[in-house]
């Protein structure tokens, strides 16, 4: 039995690391009972939470890193990692060895040093950061699609939402944030292991009270009848969504919104054909993000004897060197001005999938 | 419970039917208000075009309906605080006329009227109907009225058959339009004939059927052209009104389509990104700079669901208009959670009371808020101030008086705002007042704890400077998102934040949204798309204070 010591940090979950590998359905049953038994305590003592379910625990200047917290270790925007803070543990990366005990008591958002003087930042988890660090057990949805889906499905606190499949839980995490504190997300995947791992993730992230994961073949069996006519929004990310659409329609309240995400236009085509019988306002979108990078540079004006127009860019570090040594140079060449320049990033995502939305016809 | 006894007629609102025709440059820039943009000579805003409603699915119309039954059928009135799906008296709605041709925000009351074409219809039949219901203008003995159309699955099946016929036809196209000559002789019904039918009490649909029967070319058209013809005639002779929920999605799209300048060209996908990137979630205390008319405030409040707080801050003496936030159907507990404070109050602790007094005075002189109202609002702030640290505590006892006051407030507040609403006096009941001053308790708390999120949508301000000022108000590790119509100010801002080491995870992104037509064998991107949805700079505030984070410098 877990104890209440250690500041009462997420007692139930802490004892079971996800790394303890997958257990069969039996194991989960056991685990659920355990969690159920501690439900009241869990709600009261969750400090490792991505969301502020308990308003007194919300982030503030005073909120410091505590033993048991789930944090995001930030190296660069494209290099982050989720870490559970544990006294006595260490994090090792190319910058050296970081002792967790050095982190405890510092504010979230602090820069922490390794034994070699390297540094990382320790951040509070958010659904956006989670999408960057989660383990990809499937293809996942990213921020552009996720944010659009939440708005277009009209998900607000208190909503009841159905999702299938759960996959890696990237979208589910944002759905949970949107329905909190009083709504609920029921998410279904027919892959038992994935469902289990996703459930573990939600619990570790403090979303256990907002999300229920179930193993079910949604294309074959549809959603459970108990939800009939009670659901505000349904999200489908399935290979043959048209098989699940009739069931989704039965679950929705009138005027409730459905969204189906499909990478291929042929899937969209078939889905739309089925949607037309019970849905209206059927709209298909593609959402992408283009990112930009900035550079500070010196643009030389094309003066006499200087036929070509030159742009010199520097990384920030270089620029600092130059400004400390190169004052003379700058005064010498008065025609050189420093500008912040911006251009689209080299790499961009070209396609993720089509988002098809539809509203249940109001009879 | 929202069935209210309102004694005065309400019809509000904001009719978005006429899109301002302006050259794009003029729409983007209000002259003189944004000096920073002067550096952007080479930066052009791509031409903005409205996203059309797809119309991919024509609405079905049946001739039987009984609007009076609707209330019973769907459980009658519901409490507006639990995400209501049925309208009530005093409820704010978006009326979508003929598939988005005209969009009108209105407040339902028995006395409210809507003019469609040359016919004035009462909005009374809309009260107690589920959102998503559709109405058609019909002629009755007492003049035109709105009749609810009940969708029937059988009709949907019929429609399906049309689709399938169309599908087959595309696969083995037997008809084409080569023989159609446009010489205005195809229609043998004259205007007089149609008027005569009307006088005889023909329904709109009967007229449409007659027009089809009397068109010599209709039979020669392809199935798709026939559908298009029918839809065009229905719009004219049997206009329909769709009852939509005023949600962030519909409000943002309506404004983006009809008045994009009022929301700084903030497209729904960009707005959605702001909300996600700033981690807007229940119980958050959110700092906003909303210069997009209150759309941002409403969208954030919707996500907070009556928990947490929104503090709108502003620079200089006058706060920004937030009228769009009043279109949302927020219950009264939301209202106490939306406040504003001038930036100077948020950052300086000491002479707050002094400044407060000055503000009172200046408000009085500029006529923005009357002193009596101000006092009463301060009172209500104090009461919410005490709930700040506790669970939410509905202010039920003084609700009624509060609403009344807000009604008055509204009249005074929006009178100066460029005629955004046709009839200011009519918008009041149950709409939030987003322009109450934050209590000093709340400000003190925010100064101690910091805000959990920051969103800036100030398309006309120099963001670099204000972001530098606002970031210190955010608690450590809190995310923020800045919206701008132009790229360069964000690039400069990003550079400033990088060099000052105030934030990490900095990223500038530009959302891109394309809608598709999906029809059997006829799927393709829509011909028109919005070429411009603005830019977003996002990041996370870090603790760069050597004392708090000892040893990191
Ligand atoms: C691409 S993933 C979903 C990713 C998810 N949206 C995310 O953001 O992480 C698709 C999931 O659907 C599940 N799936 C496929 N067919 C299914 C079915 N018939 N019933 C339930 N789940 C199914 C797969 O196991 C897979 O995990």
Give B451 Cα–ligand 1 centroid separation in angstroms.
37
Flag whether pLDDT at B306 surpasses 70. yes
Q: Tell me which of 1.10.569.10, 3.10.330.20, 3.40.50.620, 3.40.50.2300 is the CATH number of domain A70-125.
A: 3.10.330.20
Query: Which candidate from A74, A269, A287 shows the least CB-CB separation from B518?
Result: A269
Ligand 1, atom 22, lies closest to the CA of A189
Quick one: pLDDT band at residue B170, thresholds 50, 70, 90? low
How far apart CA A117 and CA A115 sit, in angstroms, is 6
pLDDT recorded at residue A168 = 97
Q: Is the CB of A140 under 6 A from ligand 1?
A: yes
Q: Is the CB of A247 under 6 A from ligand 1?
A: no
Nearest Cα to B509, choosing from A144, A316, A339? A144
Question: Which of ligand 1's atoms lies nearest the C-alpha of A194?
Answer: 27
Q: Is A170 annotated as a binding residue?
A: yes
Question: What pLDDT digit, counting tens, does each position of B244-277 carry?
Answer: 999 999 999 999 999 999 999 999 999 999 999 9
**Domain at A129-288: CATH code:** 3.40.50.150
Token pair of A188 as six digits: 């279904």
How far apart CA B59 and CA B150 sit, in angstroms, is 11
Instruction: Name residues 304-363 of chain A within 8 A of B (Cβ).
Output: 316, 340-342, 354, 356, 359-363
A359 — phi, psi (to 5°)? -110, 140
Question: Which of ligand 1's atoms lies nearest the C-alpha of A220?
Answer: 19
Quick one: pLDDT band at residue B118, thresholds 50, 70, 90? confident
Token pair of B305 as six digits: 């669901």
Q: Is the CB of A188 under 6 A from ligand 1?
A: yes
Q: Is the CB of A235 under 6 A from ligand 1?
A: no
Token pair of B98 as six digits: 């003929």
Give A33 Cα–ligand 1 centroid separation in angstroms.
26
Name the residue in chain B with its Cα closest to that of A320.
B499
Cβ–Cβ contact A264 with B under 8 A:
no
Name the residue in chain B with its Cα closest to that of A112.
B552
Q: Do A157 and B304 touch (CB under 8 A)?
A: yes
* Helix or strand holding residue A65 (H, E): none
User: Is A96 in contact with A114 (CB distance < 8 Å)?
Assistant: yes
What are the structural domain ranges in chain A?
A: 9-52, 70-125, 129-288, 293-344
- The proportion of chain B whose per-residue pLDDT surpasses 90, expressed as a percent, equals 38
How far apart CA B271 and CA B396 sit, in angstroms, is 32
The sign of the dihedral angle between the CA atoms of B255, B257, B261, B267 is positive
Question: What pLDDT digit, counting tens, does each position of B190-209 carry?
Answer: 888 888 887 777 777 788 88
Give B353 Cα–ligand 1 centroid separation in angstroms.
57
Flag whether pLDDT at B119 surpasses 70. yes
Q: How many CA atoms lie within 13 A of A358 on its CB side?
A: 27
* Helix or strand holding residue B273 (H, E): helix B268-277
Flag whether pLDDT at B70 surpasses 80. no
Nearest Cα to B194, choosing from B208, B181, B184? B208
Give A219 Cα–ligand 1 centroid separation in angstroms.
10
Cβ–Cβ contact B193 with A under 8 A:
no
Q: How many CA atoms lie within 13 A of A286 on its CB side?
A: 17
pLDDT recorded at residue B230 = 82
Q: Tell me which of 3.30.420.40, 3.30.559.10, 3.40.50.150, 3.20.20.120 is the CATH number of domain B248-395+449-549.
A: 3.40.50.150
Cβ–Cβ contact A101 with B under 8 A:
no
Cα dist from B34 to B21, B39, B345, B457, B485, whole Å: 22, 10, 25, 14, 12
Q: Do A340 and B535 touch (CB under 8 A)?
A: no
Give A213 Cα–ligand 1 centroid separation in angstroms.
12
The stretch B529-542 carries a mean pLDDT of 92
Flag whether pLDDT at B19 surpasses 60. no
Least confident of B293-297, B304-308, B528-532: B528-532
How far apart CA A347 and CA A351 sit, in angstroms, is 12
A143: which chain B residues are within 8 Å (Cβ-Cβ)? 273, 276-277
Token pair of A109 as six digits: 């958002």
pLDDT recorded at residue A205 = 92
Q: Do A177 and B279 touch (CB under 8 A)?
A: yes
* Helix or strand holding residue B314 (H, E): strand B309-314
- Rounded to the nearest integer, the mean pLDDT of chain B is 70
Greatest extent of chain A over all pairs of C-alpha atoms, in Å = 82
Cα dist from B30 to A230, B237, B461, whole Å: 47, 40, 12
Flag whether pLDDT at B127 surpasses 50. yes
Residue A3 burial by CB count (10 A; 0-12/13-18/19+): exposed, middle or buried? exposed
Token pair of B533 as six digits: 């949805």
User: Is B28 in contact with B477 (CB distance < 8 Å)?
Assistant: no
B512: which chain A residues are within 8 Å (Cβ-Cβ)? 287-290
Query: pLDDT 10s digit of each residue in chain A, 363 long?
Result: 333 333 322 222 222 333 333 323 323 333 333 333 333 333 333 334 677 656 666 777 778 899 989 999 999 888 999 999 999 999 999 999 999 999 999 999 999 999 999 999 999 999 999 999 999 999 999 999 999 999 999 999 999 999 999 999 999 999 999 999 999 999 999 999 999 999 999 999 999 999 999 999 999 999 999 999 999 999 999 999 999 999 999 999 999 999 999 999 999 999 999 999 999 999 999 999 999 999 988 766 666 555 555 556 554 444 443 343 334 444 444 456 678 999 999 888 889 999 999 999 987
Give A191 Cα–ligand 1 centroid separation in angstroms.
8
Flag whether pLDDT at B76 surpasses 80. no
Q: Is the CB of A237 under 6 A from ligand 1?
A: yes
Q: Do A147 and B276 touch (CB under 8 A)?
A: yes
Cβ–Cβ contact B544 with A under 8 A:
yes
| Minimum distance, in Å, between the CA of residue B279 and any CA atom of chain A | 7
What are the structural domain ranges in chain B?
A: 2-73, 248-395+449-549
Higher pLDDT, A201 or B54: A201
Ligand 1, atom 3, lies closest to the CA of A167
B552: which chain A residues are within 8 Å (Cβ-Cβ)? 110-113, 119
pLDDT recorded at residue A267 = 97
Q: Is the CB of A262 under 6 A from ligand 1?
A: no
Give A236 Cα–ligand 1 centroid separation in angstroms.
8
Question: Which of ligand 1's atoms lies nearest the C-alpha of A243?
Answer: 19
Q: Do A340 and B540 touch (CB under 8 A)?
A: no
B196-201 LR contacts (CB < 8 Å, sep 24+): B198/B139, B201/B139
Cβ–Cβ contact A176 with B under 8 A:
no
- The proportion of chain B whose per-residue pLDDT surpasses 70, expressed as a percent, equals 62
pLDDT recorded at residue B545 = 62
How far apart CA A122 and CA A83 sit, in angstroms, is 9
pLDDT recorded at residue B331 = 84
Cβ–Cβ contact A75 with B under 8 A:
no
Question: What pLDDT digit, counting tens, does each position of B465-490 carry?
Answer: 999 999 999 999 999 999 999 999 99
Query: Which ipTM was obtained for this model?
Result: 0.82
Flag whether pLDDT at B419 surpasses 50. no
User: DSSP class of residue B544?
Assistant: -
Question: What pLDDT digit, counting tens, does each position of B347-403 carry?
Answer: 875 444 544 545 544 443 333 222 223 333 222 332 333 222 222 222 222 222 222
Least confident of A7-11, A281-285, B17-21, B498-502: A7-11
Q: Do A107 and B544 touch (CB under 8 A)?
A: no
Q: Is the CB of A163 under 6 A from ligand 1?
A: no
Cβ–Cβ contact A285 with B under 8 A:
yes
Quick one: pLDDT band at residue B18, thresholds 50, 70, 90? very low
pLDDT recorded at residue B33 = 31
Q: Is A110 annotated as a binding residue?
A: no
- Provide DSSP, A73-115: EEEETTEEEEEE--TT-EEEETTEEEEHHHHTTSBTTEEEE-T
Place of tokens 């219901």: B133
| Minimum distance, in Å, between the CA of residue A152 and any CA atom of chain B | 6
Q: Do B549 and A361 touch (CB under 8 A)?
A: no
Give B527 Cα–ligand 1 centroid separation in angstroms.
33
Q: Is the CB of A238 under 6 A from ligand 1?
A: yes
The stretch B336-357 carries a mean pLDDT of 73
Q: Is the CB of A141 under 6 A from ligand 1?
A: yes
- Provide DSSP, B403-464: HHHHHHHHHHHHTTSTT-SS-GGG--TT---TTEEPPHHHHHHHHHH-BSEEEEE-TTS-HH
């Amino acid at each position: 039995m877990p104890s209440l010591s250690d500041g009462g940090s997420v007692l139930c979950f802490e004892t079971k690391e996800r790394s303890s590998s997958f257990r069969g359905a039996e194991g989960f049953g056991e685990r659920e009972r355990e969690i159920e038994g501690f439900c009241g305590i869990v709600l009261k003592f969750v400090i490792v939470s991505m969301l502020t379910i308990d308003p007194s625990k919300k982030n503030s200047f005073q909120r410091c890193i505590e033993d048991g917290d789930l944090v995001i270790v930030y190296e660069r925007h494209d290099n982050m990692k989720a870490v559970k803070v544990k006294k006595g543990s260490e994090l090792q990366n190319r910058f050296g060895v970081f002792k967790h005990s050095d982190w405890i008591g510092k504010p979230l958002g602090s820069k922490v040093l390794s034994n070699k003087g390297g540094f990382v930042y320790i951040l509070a988890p958010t659904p956006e950061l989670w999408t960057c660090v989660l383990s990809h057990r499937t293809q996942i949805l990213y921020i552009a699609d996720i944010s659009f889906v939440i708005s277009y499905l009209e998900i607000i606190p208190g909503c009841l939402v159905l999702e299938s499949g759960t996959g890696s839980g990237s979208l589910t995490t944002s759905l949970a944030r949107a329905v909190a504190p009083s709504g609920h997300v029921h998410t279904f995947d027919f892959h038992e292991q994935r469902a289990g791992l996703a459930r573990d993730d939600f619990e570790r992230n403090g979303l256990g009270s907002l999300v229920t994961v179930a193993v079910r073949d949604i294309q074959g069996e549809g959603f459970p009848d108990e939800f009939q006519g009670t659901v505000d929004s349904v999200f489908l990310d399935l290979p043959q969504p048209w098989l699940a659409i009739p069931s989704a329609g039965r679950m929705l309240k009138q005027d409730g919104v459905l969204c189906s995400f499909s990478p291929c236009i042929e899937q969209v085509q078939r889905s739309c054909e089925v949607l037309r019988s019970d849905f209206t306002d059927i709209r298909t979108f593609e959402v992408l993000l283009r990112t930009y990078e900035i550079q500070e540079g010196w643009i030389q004006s094309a003066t006499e004897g200087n036929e070509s127009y030159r742009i010199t860019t520097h990384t920030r570090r270089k620029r600092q060197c130059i400004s400390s040594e190169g004052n003379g140079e700058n005064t010498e060449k008065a025609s050189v001005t420093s500008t912040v320049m911006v251009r689209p990033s080299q790499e961009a995502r070209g396609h993720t999938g089509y988002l098809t939305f539809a509203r249940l016809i109001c009879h | 419970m929202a069935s209210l006894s309102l004694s005065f007629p309400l019809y509000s609102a904001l009719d978005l039917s006429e899109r301002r025709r302006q050259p794009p440059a003029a729409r983007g820039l209000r002259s003189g208000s944004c000096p920073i943009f002067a550096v952007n000579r080479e930066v052009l805003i791509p031409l903005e075009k409205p996203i059309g409603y797809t119309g991919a699915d024509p609405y079905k119309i049946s001739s039987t309906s009984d609007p009076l039954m609707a209330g019973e059928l769907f459980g009658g009135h519901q409490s507006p605080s639990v995400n209501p799906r049925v309208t009530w008296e005093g409820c704010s709605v978006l009326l979508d006329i003929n598939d988005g041709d005209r969009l009108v925000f209105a407040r339902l009351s028995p006395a409210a009227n809507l003019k469609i074409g040359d016919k004035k219809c009462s909005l009374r039949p809309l009260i107690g109907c589920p959102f998503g219901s559709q109405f058609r203008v019909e002629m009755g003995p007492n003049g035109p009225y709105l009749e609810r159309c009940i969708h029937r699955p059988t009709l949907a099946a019929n429609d399906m058959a049309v689709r399938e016929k169309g599908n087959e036809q595309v696969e083995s196209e037997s008809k084409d339009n080569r023989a159609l000559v446009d010489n205005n002789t195809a229609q043998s019904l004259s205007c007089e004939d149609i008027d005569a039918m009307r006088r005889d009490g023909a329904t709109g649909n009967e007229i449409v059927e007659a027009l089809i029967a009397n068109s010599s070319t209709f039979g020669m058209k392809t199935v798709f052209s026939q559908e298009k013809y029918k839809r065009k005639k229905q719009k004219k002779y049997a206009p329909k009104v769709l009852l939509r929920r005023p949600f962030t999605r519909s409000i943002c799209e309506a404004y983006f389509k009809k008045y994009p300048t009022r929301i700084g060209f903030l497209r729904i996908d960009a707005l959605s990104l702001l909300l996600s990137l700033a981690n807007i979630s229940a119980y958050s205390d959110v700092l906003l700079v909303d210069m997009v008319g209150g759309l941002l405030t409403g969208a954030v409040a919707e996500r907070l669901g009556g928990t947490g707080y929104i503090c709108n801050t502003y620079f200089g003496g006058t706060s920004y208009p937030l009228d769009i936030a009043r279109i949302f159907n927020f219950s009264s507990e939301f209202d106490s959670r939306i406040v504003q404070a001038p930036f100077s109050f948020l950052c300086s602790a000491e002479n707050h009371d002094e400044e407060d007094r000055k503000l009172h005075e200046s408000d009085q002189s500029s006529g923005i808020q009357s002193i009596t109202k101000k006092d009463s609002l301060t009172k209500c702030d104090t009461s919410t101030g005490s709930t700040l640290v506790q669970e939410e505590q509905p202010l039920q006892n003084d609700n009624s008086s509060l609403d009344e006051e807000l009604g008055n407030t509204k009249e005074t507040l929006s009178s100066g705002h460029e005629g955004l609403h046709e009839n200011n006096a009519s918008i009041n009941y149950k709409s939030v007042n987003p322009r109450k001053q934050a209590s000093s308790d709340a400000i003190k708390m925010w100064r101690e704890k910091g805000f959990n999120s920051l969103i800036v949508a100030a398309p006309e301000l120099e963001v670099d400077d204000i972001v530098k000022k606002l970031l210190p108000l955010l608690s450590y590790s809190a995310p923020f998102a800045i919206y701008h119509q132009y790229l360069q100010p964000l690039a400069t801002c990003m550079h400033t934040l990088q060099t000052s080491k105030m934030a990490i995870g900095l990223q500038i992104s530009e959302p891109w949204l394309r809608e598709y037509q999906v029809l059997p064998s006829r799927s393709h991107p829509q011909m028109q798309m919005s070429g411009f949805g603005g830019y977003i700079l996002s990041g996370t505030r870090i603790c760069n204070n050597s004392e708090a984070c000892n040893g990191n410098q």
